[in-house]
Structure 1
Amino acid sequence: MRLLLFAILLAGVTSCKQRAADYQQVLHNPVLYSKVTGLLTDVITYDIFTPPVASRIYSYAHLAAFEAMVHGDSSYTSLKGQLKGFNYVLPPDSGKVVDYPYAALMAFMEVGKTLTFSKDQTDKIVDSLKMLAETHGMPAAVKKNSEEYGINVAKAVLAWSKKDNYAQTRSAAKYTVPSDEGKWIPTPPGYFQAVEPHWRTIRTIAMDSSNQFAPPTPCKFGKDSTCPFYKMAKQVQDTGVLLTEEQKAIASFWDCNGFKLNVVGHTMYATKAMTPGGHWMGITGIICESKKADFAKTVYTYTTVSFAVMDAFIACWDAKYTFNLIRPETVINKYMDANWKPFLQTPPFPEYTSGHSIISTAASTVLEHIYGAQTPFRDSTERPWGFPDRNFQSPRQAADEAGISRFYGGIHYRPSIIVARDQGEKVGNYVLSKLSMRKEQLASK
């Protein structure tokens, strides 16, 4: 839908009488960068990438944009030499005039196009951007130089991406479901196999290792009604039975289930939604616009948030497949009530820790560092899926709500959410402290 709206907007622009070289006003608009990020989210959603894989796409696409942008803004510094093995990006050829925001958009989309499947859709986005540059009077030589530079930066980032072990995880040995009692097993209605069981082997962005911020061992499994684990599961059951309308609204708003299997009688059909990382990309754009961040700061913000989200997913998946903890639905159906169902559909991977909680807290930690703890915003990211906007006084409040939504949804124990929140804060702070992306940070080290 957003691709269609973007095309309509472009048609309106190109049908008007061309104004004299106002391409900088159009292409340097930070809202355009957010819109293009939203269009990539649409492609990621359509292609049904898993949440961890989606976070990888965002990270590399925003990294490419950031690296193309830094040479045009002295306030920021390249990540060359700061990221593990990232030493490829070269400055543009001297003597060639480059429009760096436009180059950043080209770099972003080149990576996004390469790492997704729907080339017809990504080609439309790229063609629309090129049309904007041409229609609004960008000199042909500047346009050519900028596109070439953006592509070259993207190629450097893509070459680096190929060394992160992603390809090896595609052909890794199939995950074997543990037979021990208390361990995760596939859940209804799809009984899908475990998602991304080897994700902890992906190269991290800033973290030293996937288990740098390992959580404590979860509560020991037990099926006696007096043991702590049973009581923890019973809390999920009781809450699910007595959900308020507000709790249901919170759970639904943050569901972000990229592939929900709907069952109606004997018929099954799937519906798509953006990933949790995509939701936080949307929030990032909303906050950047409300804070009137310029193009460079907007790119910087997206890049840092995407780094925190990617590392948070790696840390979370390390914990999930280290402990392989059983989901509440399985426990409740087997030992408490065979007919109980969670409000949300249980995702196909182990329970501990909460992915929503860790990535949301990591993202909110970065956003509050850049814009301040008191950053109110209206979250409109779920409008395409029919959910009303929600208002938050801060990114952390939104992150906390995202975390608790999984408890309301019946798919997480409450302690898993609390522990993941602590993990996410550590990941976010580590990304901020480890990487120097602004000149003032570099000077202070």
Structure 2
Amino acid sequence: MKKSLIYLLGILLIATVYACKEDVKEEIIPDPIPDPVELTISPETALRWSEVTLDVVKGSPNNSPTYASRCLGYFGLTMYESTVKGSIIFKSITPDLTGLGSTPDPEEGEEMNWEIALNAGQKEIIHALYPHAPAEISAKIDSLYDLIIAEKLKESVSQAAVNASDLYGKLIARQIFEWAKLDKGHEGFLKTFDFDYDYPTGRTYWSPPVAGQSSIAAPMHPYWGENRTFASANSTMEIPVFMESDNDPDSQYYKDMMEVYEKNISLTQEEKEIALWWGDDPAASSSPPGHSYYLTASLIEEKQNNLFEATSAFAKVGMSTADAFINVWKCKYFYHAERPKNFISRNIDGRFVQFWPEPPFPAFTSGHSSQIAAAATALIDVFGNENKISDDFHTGRPWDSIRKVEFKTRNFDTIWELAEECGYSRILGGIHTPQDNLVGLDEGKKIAENINSFNWKY
């Protein structure tokens, strides 16, 4: 009995030894411990540049959501690439960007200050993409650049580090700008409206409104959908299926239009506030993608992410919204779908006037819905969805005397809730149907997921 017991214990001991060996083989190597210095670099420089950026977008002539989205994509990317070589967590995403090529490494042994590199890169890329900015706006760019350098010198950053970092940031920006010039959107501000565009005619097709949001009765950037996307996967996405016009009252298309009509003739004061809040008219604001960039800055400021996390957020949101506008515009000028007013006036109520003026481009899909879904999906990737947000982007603007609505701060329990309200606001405004909104939200989410799937970290 004793021999049997000893034999059994021996077998168990051998099995335990082999099990331990197997455990060693399958040991999971933990992620590298973050560099404490990296975690303490403030995002403040990135936030200050985002504020000036929105002033540039809003204050420059020929502002459009299309051109603004493109520029914000490059601004965010430049922020990220001008700093990322200072991180042991994040890495360059140039392998995911077709045609850009690798960005240079800093010279070996050189002392670098990554806030100075970001500062130089932003000055360079903003001036390059907004050569048409008014003198007072350009002066804001130069003033912030000079101020940050002066501050760093006062903080005892060496002149050698300032010089090396400044040159590095400018080199990154110049490389990205040369790449940007080949995307088919270069100098898009020179021809925002195309009077020569040959769009289809017919009762069910869109045509430029006579009295719309823009005083120019011509389509906005009809070829924008041909531009190069940041994520190559976004350029190969299939154009979403459109539920075509149908004046049968039992059809879903007719029911969608009836929903827009019934909502617009019975808007509550709060619904008017929602519709107005998300209007983001480029003539009075930094446009929808600028609103998304602002929300990114708000979350960064609240969470106090370090510099590298902050620049990754600006890059993800900027490139996601830029790609969203490219894909939406490809869809808009593929179907040339009519706006609700056209259908409702023809089939339901000839006196119908929607709450928000009609923009100068076709309906399907909703640009607002797609870009906000893209921005939200990018933000969720960085911060998680469960974040209470107070959006004060328009707070303080004068009372809208035409619509009798004031601009009130909007509050949300999650990031996605914010996206859903923005999309729904276009139905409340009377310029989009549920189809336009829901498909736009879905497409925007997919677009940002393709950006999020880049190899951002080691």
Task: Specify the TM-score bucket, using the shorter chain as the normaliser.
Answer: 0.7 to 0.9
Which residue in the other structure is 2:201 paired with? Answer: 179
Task: Kindly report which structure 2 residues correspond to 1:146-165, keeping only aligned pairs within 5 A, or say none.
Answer: 146-165=165-184
Q: Contact 1:88–1:156 at 8 Å: present in 2 too?
A: no
Which residue in the other structure is 1:337 paired with? Answer: 349
TM-score, normalised with respect to structure 1: 0.85
Q: Contact 1:109–1:122 at 8 Å: present in 2 too?
A: no
Give the superposition deviation at 1:331. 1.9
- Cα distance in 1 for residues equivalent to 2:187 and 2:111: 40
Name the amino acid aligned to 1:392. Answer: F
- Cα distance in 1 for residues equivalent to 2:335 and 2:363: 9
Q: Contact 1:200–1:210 at 8 Å: present in 2 too?
A: no
- Cα distance in 1 for residues equivalent to 2:166 and 2:244: 56
Name the amino acid aligned to 2:199. Answer: V
Q: Which runs of 5+ in 1 are unaligned?
A: 1-23, 260-271, 440-445
**Comparing 207-216 and 362-371, the one that deviates more:** 207-216
Q: Contact 1:187–1:330 at 8 Å: present in 2 too?
A: no
- Cα distance in 2 for residues equivalent to 1:370 and 1:88: 24
Q: Contact 1:107–1:150 at 8 Å: present in 2 too?
A: yes
Which residue, out of 179, 190, 210, partners 2:235?
Answer: 210
- Cα distance in 2 for residues equivalent to 1:360 and 1:184: 24
SS in 2 for 1:351: coil
Q: Does 1:242 align with 2:258?
A: no
Q: Contact 1:206–1:431 at 8 Å: present in 2 too?
A: yes
- Aligned residue pairs, count: 401
Which residue in the other structure is 2:387 paired with? Answer: 375
Give the superposition deviation at 1:140. 2.2
SS in 2 for 1:208: helix
**Comparing 83-92 and 275-284, the one that deviates more:** 83-92
Q: 1:63 to 1:119 in 2, by over 3 A?
A: farther
- Cα distance in 1 for residues equivalent to 2:94 and 2:232: 16
- Cα distance in 1 for residues equivalent to 2:331 and 2:285: 25
Cα-to-partner distance string for 1:3-25 (whole Å, 9 max, x where unaligned): xxxxxxxxxxxxxxxxxxxxx99
- Cα distance in 2 for residues equivalent to 1:353 and 1:285: 27
Q: Contact 2:225–2:330 at 8 Å: present in 1 too?
A: yes
Q: Does 1:125 align with 2:137?
A: no
- Cα distance in 1 for residues equivalent to 2:138 and 2:158: 24
Q: Contact 1:206–1:311 at 8 Å: present in 2 too?
A: yes
Q: Percent same amino acid at aligned positions?
A: 26
**Comparing 231-240 and 63-72, the one that deviates more:** 231-240
SS in 1 for 2:456: coil
Give the superposition deviation at 1:55. 0.9
SS in 2 for 1:165: coil
- Cα distance in 2 for residues equivalent to 1:354 and 1:96: 48
Task: Kindly report which structure 2 residues correspond to 1:429-444, keeping only aligned pairs within 5 A, or say none.
Answer: 429-433=449-453, 435-439=454-458
Q: Does 1:200 align with 2:252?
A: no
Greater Rg by CA: 2
Task: Kindly report which structure 2 residues correspond to 1:314-393, keeping only aligned pairs within 5 A, or say none.
Answer: 314-383=326-395, 385-386=397-398, 387-393=407-413
Give the superposition deviation at 1:78. 0.9
- Cα distance in 2 for residues equivalent to 1:167 and 1:374: 38
Cα-to-partner distance string for 1:115-137 (whole Å, 9 max, x where unaligned): 11216323432333322322434
Which residue, out of 423, 426, 433, partners 1:413?
Answer: 433
Q: Contact 2:97–2:232 at 8 Å: present in 1 too?
A: no
Give the superposition deviation at 1:224. 4.3
SS in 1 for 2:245: coil
Name the amino acid aligned to 1:176. Answer: D
Q: 1:425 to 1:132 in 2, by over 3 A?
A: closer
- Cα distance in 2 for residues equivalent to 1:158 and 1:213: 29
